[in-house]
Structure 1
Amino acid sequence: MKSVVISGGGSGLGKELGALLTNKGTHAILLGRTEKKLIDAVEMIKKNGGEANYYVLDITSHIEVEKTVSEIVKRYDVELLINNAGVGHFGPFLEATNEELLEMFQTNVFGSIYLTKSFLPLFQKNSAGTILNIISTAGLRGKKNEALYVSSKFALRGFSESLQKEYDGDAIRIVNAFMGGMDTPFWDKSDHISDKSRMRTPKEVAKMILEELPVKDEIVIESKKKTSVC
């Protein structure tokens, strides 16, 4: 059975992608820092008849990433890596802390790079494999009170688009997904979004991504807009 590795797989979009992919017969390997969330996600998948397991992993540590990926590739036939893990801090630029800056770049950029670099040799050996980078529309344009978050997403976009050119014509696919804000716990500790009702659910976005994944190398999904009442 083919496997997919999903960072940030214990909640939100990562969890929904795992659930949908296992419904299609793929085995899901969920990565994350919070074991309780990972356990809950795996149990949900198994309850619905899918197959999954998890690894507790801090993707900001290249040593941990290399060790964990080494274990994974020995046991599973991985064909898809989804770099989904991300953190965000929002507000006026001058109020941002250095700790917030480091956390966003270490997770949103370095973590995805570490995982990509660890899995690419396997994909090259197999002459097949797909890397899906979940970037967000913050990687497409600047946004008020999101200077550092947007910067991290632009960096991930630049990395991913460069790999697309490097592996152009190769059997390895690099796919970028740019989606608007979703109604997830991501916003629970922030007042940056006052009305989450206009947002799509993670399940909606996951379905849209997987529908377009086989045929597109760039997927753009804007936030759901409010409908006007006439």
Structure 2
Amino acid sequence: MKAIIVTGAGTGLGKELSLLLAKQDYHMILTGRTEDKLAAVKEQIDQSGGSATALPLDLRNLEDIKEKALLISKTHEIYGLVNNAGLGYFGPFSEITDTEMEEMFQTNVFGTIHMTKAVLPYLEQNREGLVLNIVSTAGLRGKKNEAVYCSSKFAVRGFTESLQKEYEGTEIRFVAAYMGGMDTPFWDDSEHVADPTRFRSAAEVAGIIFDNLEKTEIVIESKKS
């Protein structure tokens, strides 16, 4: 059974994409930092007749990424990677701290790049694969009070588009998903969005992405309030 790795699979869009992909007979490798949330998603997949493994992973730790990719490759045929995990701090640029800037780039940019670098050799070995990068519309245009967050997402956009050109003509595909705000726990510790419930649910966005995976670019704008 071919396996797909999902980062940030314990909640939100990562969870919903994992549930959908599991129904397509992929073995889901659920990664993230919160073990109980990963275990809950694994149980949900198992109960629906799917197959999944919960695997704690810290995207800020390069050695952990390399070790876990090797570990997965020994027991599963790695077919895909969903770079979903993301982190955002919002507010006037002058008030964003150095630590917040570093954390956003460490997770959003370097986490995505390092995960892709670790998994690609196995896709090349199998001569096929799918890398889905969850970017956000913050990677398409600048936004007020999101300067550093947008910067990190623009970086992921450039990374994705470059690999699309680099692997053009092969069976290894890179897909970029650009979505607006979603009603997920992403906003729990932020006052940047007053009412996240006006956004699409993670399940709705996951469905749109899933239905458009044949494309290289998927744009899902926020619902207007």
User: What is the TM-score of this pair, normalised by structure 1?
Assistant: 0.96
**Superposition pairs of residues 1-230 of structure 1, within 5 angstroms:** 1-213=1-213, 215-226=214-225
CA shift at 1:36, angstroms?
1.2
CA shift at 1:77, angstroms?
1.1
For residue 54 of structure 1, give the secondary structure of its aligned residue in structure 2: strand
| Aligned amino acid, residue 211 of structure 2 | E
CA shift at 1:104, angstroms?
0.3
User: What is the TM-score of this pair, normalised by structure 2?
Assistant: 0.98
For residue 59 of structure 2, give the secondary structure of its aligned residue in structure 1: coil
For residue 68 of structure 2, give the secondary structure of its aligned residue in structure 1: helix
CA shift at 1:198, angstroms?
2.3
Cα distance in 2 between the residues matched to 1:183 and 1:146: 18
| Aligned amino acid, residue 225 of structure 1 | K
Aligned pairs, number: 225
Cα distance in 2 between the residues matched to 1:188 and 1:62: 27
| Aligned amino acid, residue 203 of structure 1 | A
CA shift at 1:48, angstroms?
1.8
For residue 113 of structure 1, give the secondary structure of its aligned residue in structure 2: helix
Calculate percent identity across the aligned residue pairs.
55
| Aligned amino acid, residue 9 of structure 1 | A
Cα distance in 1 between the residues matched to 2:24 and 2:86: 25
| Aligned amino acid, residue 223 of structure 1 | S
Cα distance in 2 between the residues matched to 1:24 and 1:167: 25
Could you list the per-position Cα deviations for residues 75-115 of structure 1 after superposition, in whole angstroms to 9, with x for gaps in the alignment?
A: 11121110000000000101100110010000000011111
Cα distance in 2 between the residues matched to 1:102 and 1:38: 26
Are 1:198 and 1:223, in contact at CA under 8 Å, matched by a contact in 2? no
Could you list the per-position Cα deviations for residues 88-147 of structure 1 after superposition, in whole angstroms to 9, with x for gaps in the alignment?
A: 000010110011001000000001111100111111111101100000000000000000
| Poorly superposed stretches of 4+, deviation over 4 Å | none
Q: Which runs of 5+ in 1 are unaligned?
A: none
CA shift at 1:225, angstroms?
2.1
Could you list the per-position Cα deviations for residues 22-45 of structure 1 after superposition, in whole angstroms to 9, with x for gaps in the alignment?
A: 122211101101111111111111
For residue 85 of structure 1, give the secondary structure of its aligned residue in structure 2: coil
* Alignment root-mean-square deviation, CA: 0.9
Cα distance in 1 between the residues matched to 2:198 and 2:12: 17
